[in-house]
Amino acid sequence: MSVWIAIGITALGCYLVKLLGLSVPAGALERPVFKRLTALLPVALLAALTAQQTFADQTVLVLDARAAGLAAAALALVLRAPFLVVVAAAVLVTAGIRAVG
């Protein structure tokens, strides 16, 4: 049930911020500070999420096959691979290391 609540809140919130952008009169939110903050927020969130999902197991920090998988993803990104290839590289390398180890 709590998952449904989270989904409901997220769906509503994400829809409202989309509608807000389309509905607000031009220039109202055009302040440079607002622009730079909304551009930087996803950067901070995604970086924190990447780090946690790679190096954490619940609340404990760990170093396992996922780190190698992320390195493979990073390499794929440097080589300008498309999104799905990047994710696939991480999955394959992680699975490969687990199979060997």
* Tokens, residue 35: 């622009």
Rounded least distance, CB 83 to other proteins, Å: 5
Number of residues that bind other proteins (CB under 8 A): 71
Among residues 58, 76, 56, which one has the least CA distance to residue 66?
56
Binding mask 4-43 for other proteins (x = CB under 8 A): xxxx-xxx-xxx-xxxxxxxx-x--xx--x-xxxxxxxxx
Residues in 38-97 that interact with other proteins by CB under 8 A = 38-56, 58-61, 65-66, 69-70, 73-74, 77, 82-84, 86-87, 89-96
Residue 93 contacts residue 72 (beta carbons within 8 Å):
yes
Rounded least distance, CB 85 to other proteins, Å: 9
Rounded least distance, CB 101 to other proteins, Å: 12
Residue 60 contacts residue 92 (beta carbons within 8 Å):
no
Rounded least distance, CB 37 to other proteins, Å: 6
Distance separating alpha carbons of residues 53 and 30, to the nearest angstrom? 34
* Tokens, residue 55: 């190096």
